[in-house]
Amino acid sequence: MQLYVDDRRVDDESVSTGTIEDILRLVQAKLCAPGRMVIGVRVDGDPVPGEAMPATLRQLAPSVDRLEVFTSTKERLVSDALAQASASLTETGTSAGFIADLLIEGKTCEATEDLGACLRVWQQVHEAVGKSIELLELDLDHTTIADEPLAVVIGRPKEVLVQIRDALVARDLVLLADILKYEFADVTETWQAVIARIRQAAEDLQEP
């Protein structure tokens, strides 16, 4: 098996046996520079998506011709992930009002389908923010946005998502339309502010 770490060939027999998971652990322990971490792999030229990772990790090294491992700093990982989250949030930024209009017009099936897609994006944004905070080990009480603790600001989008969930469960389409039409613009703005603040924290933590 040929092993590459960040496009550099590794000639070391100790990292060519066992499972792919064993190899990744060795790469992390022995071949990653301080502050860097394994963030992705390609097997025989094919990127491994998240859902396929468990099965890939169990593969034996001799069954693979070429394993490419990619590393990054946690700060860069956070910045890139949140840039994608911000872009996804922007794409759905006008959707809330559009869905509210569909609900008002009685086009429930179409509205529900569009809302489901948006909810998946919003949940992914929420998870990306949470994981980024964890990776950077941010103190939510002392990291602030406009003099407010991040712990307070970050709770607002979650509160609105809970309201949307409750309205869906109760099948209260009037309330759901009101939330989407009149409250979600503020939610999007708050999320973007949180994302920008965390990305700034990631940049501040990077070595000059």
Instruction: Pick the last residue of a domain from 38, 64, 90.
Output: 64
pLDDT recorded at residue 14: 66
Same domain, 132 and 182: yes
User: pLDDT tens track of the chain, all 208 residues?
Assistant: 889 999 999 887 666 678 999 999 989 988 888 888 898 999 999 999 888 999 999 999 889 999 999 999 999 999 999 999 999 998 887 888 899 999 999 999 999 899 999 889 988 998 999 999 999 999 999 999 989 999 999 988 888 889 999 999 999 999 999 999 888 888 899 999 999 999 999 988 875 5
Last residue of a domain, one of 41, 64, 87: 64
Look at residue 109 and tell me if it is in a domain.
Answer: yes
Question: Among residues 43, 64, 85, which one ends one of the domains?
Answer: 64
Predicted confidence at residue 78, as pLDDT, reads 93
pLDDT of residue 170: 93
Residues 135 and 194 in one domain: yes
The verdict on residue 71 lying in a domain is no
DSSP states of the chain: -EEEETTEEE--GGGSSSBHHHHHHHIIIIISPTTEEEEEEEETTEE--GGGHHHHHHSBGGG-SEEEEEEEEHHHHHHHHHHHHHHHHHHTTTHHHHHHHHHHTT-HHHHHHHHHHHHHHHHHHHHHHHHHHHHHT--TTTSEETTEEHHHHTHHHHHHHHHHHHHHHHT-HHHHHHHHHHTHHHHHHHHHHHHHHHHHHHHHHS--
The answer on 174 and 82 residing in a single domain is: yes
pLDDT of 184: 86
69 assigned to some structural domain: no
Q: What is the pLDDT of residue 35?
A: 83
Q: What pLDDT, on a 0 to 100 scale, did the predictor assign at position 206? A: 75
Residues 92 and 37 in one domain: no
Q: Is residue 15 part of a domain?
A: yes
Same domain, 80 and 58: no
Same domain, 125 and 172: yes
Domain that holds residue 183: 76-205
Residue 52 lies in a domain: yes
